[in-house]
C-alpha cells in the first residue's frame, strides 16, 4: 500500500495528493502527474478515470473511478453538485466575518482568473467560507508545523468546481491564501490550501461515504511529497533535494538508507550545511557525505572522487539499502558512483511487477513451454536491473566493461537470495559482445539498454549517447526474439526526449522492427521536472514485431 492511498475498493481509489505534484501530466514528455503515475503503476489501476482535479500546489483528497459504474455515478454526482467538498485554507489576514458567501463569475486572464459580478451567460462560482474557532483552528495549526504561525484557519466549501475558485474568492474578500503569491498571498513554502474531505454516495451501495485526508506539514512540502511515495519498510532510498526544482539550484541530496549523500560542484555552503543537518534529523539518518560533482571524473583517482563524510557517523565500507522490497549493496569508498542510480527505481519496479504501464504487461516469467525468459542487461553496472529480472523469474545475462562492478552485482544477487551461478556475467565491451552473441545465435526476450552518456573502450572507442545510440539499438535489436521487448534509456541531459524517441524508433525501423506497443517514461516524481531544473532521464519500453 502506498502511503498516499486513503481508500480503495473494487470501484474507487482515493489518494492524498501532495502539494507540488500535478494531477495529470501537463505535456507529453513532462513529468507524470499523480494520475499518470498511478494508472501505469499497477494493473488494477490501469483503467482509472480522473473524476476531478486539484491544482498542482493544492494537497488533499483526489478521487478516481476504477469501474464504468463508478465513473458514471461520480460524474453524475459532481455534475449535480451533490458531492460535498471541504477545504482548509490558511491566511495571515483577519476575516471581518465568521462566515460568508462569495458568488461571482470567473474569467481567465493569462495564468490567473479574475472574479466578476454574476452575469447572463457567465459560469457561476459559489464558495462558502467559515472561520474556525480557536480550539479547532489550533488543532489544524499544530498539524501544519511550527513554520506556519500567526494565521487564521478557514473552512471553504465550494458549491461549484471552477479552476482556482477558492483561491480567487479568498483573495476577493481580502483573505488571500498564505503562499498564494499569484493572488496576493504572503510568501510561504507552499500554497496553504488543502482538500480535507469529500462526502458522496458510494456508486455501488449508494451509502454515504466520507473520505478525509490528514493535513500534511505545510512548512515541509518537498519532504511531504517524498513521504507520499514510499513505504519505508520497502524503500529507504530516494532523492530528497533535486536542485532548482526543490529551491536549491545546483545541489542534490539523496537518502541512501541510514545515510545522506549531498552532491554539488562546490563545497557545502553554510545554508546547505544547515539544511543537511535538518534533513539528517528529520529522516533519522546516521550520517551525511558530500560529493563534488566533476566533469573530469575519469581523470580523478577513486579516493579523490569518493564522497567525504561531513556530518554524523561514518558509513561502513559496504552497507545495504532497501528498494521495492529488495536489498542493494552501496559504498562511499569506491569512487564517483555509490552503486545504485535512484532515478531508475520505477523502471526496476516494472521488471519486478511484470507491468510496464496501462495495457502493457511483460510476459510471465515462465511461458507455456516452461522456458525461463531470457534477459540481457547491457551496461549492467552493479546489476540492479538484473536482480529485479531474476527475482521475477528470468534467466539474466549481465554485461559490463568492469569486472569490479560485475563482482558487486554477484553480491547483490546473493544479498537477495538469488544464486549468481544460475545466471551469466560477461566482462567486456557491449558492442563487441552484442556482435559475438549474435554470431552464437543467442536470442533474448528482453534487452536492457541504459548506457552512460559517455564511455570509452579499446574495442569500440568512444561512445557518445546522442551520436551512437542508434547504432547500439540496431545491434541490440538483432538479438531479440519476435514479440521481444527493448528497454532504451538515456540520461543525456542535452538530448531532447523527442529526438531520443526518434533516434530509437528510426534505428529499429532500419533493423526491420516495428513497435507494436510503446510506453515513454520520464524521471520519477522525487526527481521533479521544472523550468529551472529540466528533465534529463528518458526511457522507452517497446514491444517489437
Catalytic residues: 55
Taking CA atoms, 318 is separated from 339, 408, 433, 466, in Å, by 10, 11, 30, 34
Which positions ≥6 away from 51 have C-beta within 8 Å?
63, 64, 65, 71, 74, 75, 78
Give 56's DSSP letter: T
What nine digits make up the cell of 512?
526491420
CA-nearest of 374, 349, 333 to 2 is: 349
Please list the residues that pair with 322 across neighbouring strands: 327
Please list the residues that pair with 318 across neighbouring strands: none
Report how far residue 446's alpha carbon sits from residue 395's, in angstroms, rounded to the nearest whole number: 11
Torsions phi, psi of 149, nearest 5? -140, 160
Please list the residues that pair with 327 across neighbouring strands: 322
Which positions ≥6 away from 452 have C-beta within 8 Å?
379, 463, 465, 491
Please report where in the chains the cell 529488495 appears, as a residue.
Answer: 326
Please report where in the chains the cell 528529520 appears, as a residue.
Answer: 282
Please report where in the chains the cell 558487486 appears, as a residue.
Answer: 408
Report how far residue 69's alpha carbon sits from residue 461's, in angstroms, rounded to the nearest whole number: 59
Report how far residue 288's alpha carbon sits from residue 107's, in angstroms, rounded to the nearest whole number: 50
What nine digits make up the cell of 245?
526544482
Helix (H) or strand (E) holding 229: helix 221-229
Report how far residue 533's alpha carbon sits from residue 137's, in angstroms, rounded to the nearest whole number: 37
Give 499's DSSP letter: H
Taking CA atoms, 147 is separated from 28, 143, 192, in Å, by 36, 11, 12
3-state DSSP call for residue 37? helix
Q: How distant is the alpha carbon of residue 27 from its chain centre?
A: 16
Report how far residue 145's alpha carbon sits from residue 128's, in angstroms, rounded to the nearest whole number: 26
Please list the residues that pair with 292 across neighbouring strands: 264
For the chain, the first-to-last Cα distance in angstroms comes to 36
Amino acid at each position: 500500500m502506498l502511503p498516499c492511498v486513503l481508500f480503495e475498493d473494487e470501484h474507487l481509489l482515493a489518494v492524498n495528493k501532495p502539494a507540488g505534484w500535478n494531477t495529470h501530466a501537463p505535456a507529453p514528455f513532462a513529468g507524470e502527474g499523480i494520475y499518470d503515475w498511478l494508472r501505469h503503476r499497477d494493473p488494477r489501476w490501469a483503467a482509472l478515470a480522473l473524476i476531478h482535479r486539484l491544482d498542482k500546489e493544492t494537497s488533499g483528497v483526489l478521487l478516481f473511478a476504477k469501474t464504468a459504474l463508478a465513473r458514471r455515478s461520480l460524474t453524475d454526482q459532481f455534475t449535480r453538485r451533490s458531492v460535498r467538498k471541504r477545504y482548509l485554507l490558511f491566511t495571515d489576514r483577519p476575516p471581518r466575518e465568521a462566515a460568508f458567501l462569495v458568488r461571482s463569475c470567473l474569467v481567465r486572464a493569462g495564468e490567473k482568473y479574475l472574479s466578476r459580478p454574476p452575469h447572463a451567460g457567465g459560469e457561476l462560482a459559489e464558495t462558502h467560507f467559515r472561520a474556525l474557532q480557536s480550539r479547532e483552528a489550533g488543532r489544524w495549526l499544530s498539524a501544519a508545523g511550527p513554520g506556519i504561525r500567526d494565521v487564521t484557519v478557514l473552512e471553504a466549501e465550494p458549491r461549484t468546481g471552477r479552476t482556482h475558485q477558492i483561491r480567487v474568492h479568498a483573495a476577493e474578500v481580502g483573505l488571500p491564501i498564505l503562499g498564494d503569491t499569484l493572488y496576493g498571498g504572503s510568501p510561504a513554502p507552499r500554497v496553504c490550501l488543502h482538500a480535507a474531505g469529500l462526502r458522496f454516495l458510494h456508486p455501488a451501495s449508494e451509502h454515504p461515504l466520507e473520505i478525509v485526508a490528514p493535513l500534511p506539514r505545510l512548512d515541509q512540502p518537498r519532504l511531504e511529497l517524498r513521504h507520499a511515495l514510499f513505504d519505508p519498510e520497502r524503500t529507504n532510498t530516494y532523492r530528497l533535494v533535486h536542485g532548482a526544482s526543490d529551491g536549491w539550484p545546483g545541489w542534490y541530496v539523496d537518502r541512501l538508507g541510514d545515510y545522506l549523500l549531498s552532491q554539488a560542484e562546490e563545497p557545502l555552503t553554510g545554508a546547505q550545511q544547515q539544511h543537511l543537518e535538518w534533513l539528517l534529523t528529520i529522516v533519522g539518518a546516521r550520517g551525511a557525505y558530500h560529493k563534488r560533482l566533476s566533469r573530469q571524473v575519469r581523470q580523478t583517482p577513486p579516493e579523490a572522487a569518493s564522497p567525504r563524510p561531513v556530518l554524523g557517523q561514518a558509513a561502513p565500507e559496504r552497507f545495504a539499502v532497501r528498494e521495492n522490497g529488495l536489498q542493494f549493496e552501496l559504498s562511499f569508498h569506491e569512487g564517483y558512483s555509490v552503486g545504485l542510480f535512484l532515478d531508475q527505481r520505477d523502471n526496476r519496479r516494472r521488471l519486478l511487477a511484470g507491468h510496464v504501464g496501462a495495457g502493457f504487461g511483460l510476459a510471465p516469467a515462465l511461458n507455456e513451454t516452461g522456458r525461463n525468459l531470457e534477459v540481457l542487461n547491457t551496461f549492467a553496472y552493479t546489476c540492479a536491473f538484473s536482480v529485479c529480472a531474476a527475482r521475477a523469474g528470468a534467466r539474466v545475462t549481465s554485461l559490463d566493461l568492469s569486472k569490479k562492478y560485475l563482482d558487486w552485482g554477484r553480491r547483490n544477487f546473493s544479498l537477495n537470495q538469488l544464486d549468481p551461478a544460475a545466471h551469466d556475467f560477461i566482462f567486456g565491451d557491449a558492442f563487441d559482445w552484442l556482435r559475438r552473441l549474435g554470431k552464437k545465435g543467442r536470442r533474448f526476450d528482453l534487452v536492457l539498454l541504459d548506457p552512460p552518456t559517455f564511455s570509452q573502450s579499446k574495442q569500440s572507442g568512444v561512445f557518445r549517447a546522442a551520436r551512437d545510440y542508434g547504432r547500439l539499438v540496431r545491434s541490440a535489436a538483432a538479438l531479440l526474439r519476435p514479440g521481444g521487448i527493448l528497454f532504451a534509456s538515456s540520461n543525456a541531459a542535452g538530448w531532447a526526449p523527442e529526438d531520443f524517441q526518434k533516434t530509437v524508433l528510426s534505428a529499429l525501423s532500419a533493423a526491420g522492427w516495428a513497435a507494436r506497443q510503446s510506453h515513454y517514461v520520464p524521471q520519477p516524481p522525487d526527481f521533479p521536472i521544472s523550468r529551472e531544473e529540466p528533465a534529463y532521464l528518458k526511457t522507452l519500453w517497446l514491444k517489437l514485431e
